[in-house]
Amino acid sequence: MFKEYRLKGMIRSYNWDDYFIYSEKPLFSHMNLTFETVQKFASYAYRRAVLTNPSFILRRFWRGIKTREFFWDAYYFMKFITAPSINNQTHSAIYFAKDEWPVYDFENQPIIFFPSRPATNKLTPDLIQGVPI
């Protein structure tokens, strides 16, 4: 998917720190949907995955009774339900010696793509040299 979006020019961020599960940043553009629409459906799916799954709720209920942790299960369930599906705070990480890291320009320089090796024993030139995308 990344290769296809790269070829179409749909990648908006090459900062790999932005790629985490609760990111609120537009990492790629969609061909037909706006970023707000994608966020709306992500929030809808996040809520629906838990609220419309009664077997999960029942299993957690019985587990809470058996382990005598029902209160904590209920507490964390409510915390999960009320949590935003998108992180509204800026995600930041603390790295050691970040100023000494190499800087890459992925927008202007091609990314070398090494395809996965097929099940045969034949090596093709693409597998040895890589293909720029």
pLDDT in tens, 61-76: 898 889 988 888 889 8
- Please check whether residue 8 lies inside any domain of the structure: yes
- Please check whether residue 116 lies inside any domain of the structure: no
- Please check whether residue 108 lies inside any domain of the structure: no
Q: How many domains, in total, are found in the chain?
A: 1
User: If residue 75 lies in a helix (H) or strand (E), which one and from where to where?
Assistant: helix 70-82
Q: Concatenate the DSSP letters of all residues of 107-131 into one string.
A: TTSPPEE-PPPPSSSPPPHHHHH-E
pLDDT in tens, 71-92: 888 898 888 778 766 665 555 5
pLDDT in tens, 101-132: 888 888 788 777 777 767 776 766 666 666 66
Model pTM score = 0.49
- Please check whether residue 38 lies inside any domain of the structure: yes
Neighbours of 5 (CB within 10 A): 16
- Please check whether residue 65 lies inside any domain of the structure: yes
Is residue 35 within 8 Å of residue 86, measured between CB atoms?
Answer: no
- Please check whether residue 126 lies inside any domain of the structure: no
- Please check whether residue 42 lies inside any domain of the structure: yes
Residues 127 and 133: their CA atoms lie apart, in Å, by 14
- Please check whether residue 93 lies inside any domain of the structure: yes
Expressed as residue numbers, the domain containing 21 is 2-98
Helix, strand and coil content of the chain, in percent to the nearest 5, comes to: 45, 5, 50
